[in-house]
């Protein structure tokens, strides 16, 4: 039986799975699928070989294509699409990085800004995996900043209490 790749709800490539298993994986007539030999991703409902699973009559018009352009898989179909196929530009957390910096968790906030910038650069040179990794790092450093900020807040609270007690 033919094996298909499909895009899950998060637009991540999954599979390959047997055609008969597709419905068990949550694939519907609107899910984008691809198998070796196909020139581009299609909705499962529009693949004639899958009509026995997704009857054309039941197939509703396909949803608008994913926001980011998908590079078509290799024409010869011998190589499965790479893992970072159908890339979605990761959120580079730039706003949060700068907010974290401005709200005074400086060293960590600046690291987050550096990584946010890296996301953009790597994305431009089409290093999608690298961009995603940098985005992860930016996120981690934002959380570090947030954690330190909360810690500072707690210290300030305790300090405030102690100060109030000492004053009275």
CA-based torsion, 42, 46, 47, 50: positive or negative: positive
Spatial contact of 16 and 5, defined as CB atoms under 8 Å apart: yes
Of 27, 32, 105, 142, the one binding other proteins (CB under 8 A) is: 105
- Residue 95 near other proteins by CB under 8 A: yes
Of the listed pieces 5-13, 40-48, 77-85, 111-119, which binds other proteins according to CB under 8 A?
111-119
Spatial contact of 48 and 31, defined as CB atoms under 8 Å apart: no
Of 114, 140, 144, 146, the one binding other proteins (CB under 8 A) is: 114
CA-based torsion, 132, 134, 137, 139: positive or negative: negative
- Residue 149 near other proteins by CB under 8 A: yes
**β-strand partners of 4:** 17
Of 20, 55, 102, 129, the one binding other proteins (CB under 8 A) is: 102
Alpha-carbon gap, residue 113 to 118, rounded angstroms: 9
Of the listed pieces 9-17, 28-36, 72-80, 114-122, which binds other proteins according to CB under 8 A?
114-122
Of 11, 36, 117, 136, the one binding other proteins (CB under 8 A) is: 117
């Amino acid at each position: 039986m033919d094996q298909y790749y499909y895009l899950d709800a998060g637009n991540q490539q999954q599979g390959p799975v047997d055609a008969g298993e597709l419905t068990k994986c949550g694939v519907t007539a609107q899910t984008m699928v691809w198998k070796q030999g196909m020139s581009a991703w299609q909705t499962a409902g529009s693949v004639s070989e899958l009509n026995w699973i997704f009857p054309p009559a039941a197939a509703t018009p396909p949803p608008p294509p994913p926001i980011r352009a998908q590079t078509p898989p290799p024409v010869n179909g011998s190589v499965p699409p790479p893992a970072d196929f159908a890339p979605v530009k990761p959120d580079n957390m730039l706003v949060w990085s700068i907010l974290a910096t401005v709200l005074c968790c400086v060293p960590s906030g600046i690291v987050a800004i550096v990584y946010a910038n890296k996301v953009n650069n790597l994305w431009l040179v089409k290093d999608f995996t690298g961009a995603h990794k940098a985005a992860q790092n930016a996120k981690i450093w934002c959380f570090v900043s947030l954690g330190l900020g909360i810690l500072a807040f707690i210290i300030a609270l305790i300090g405030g209490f102690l100060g109030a007690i000492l004053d009275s």
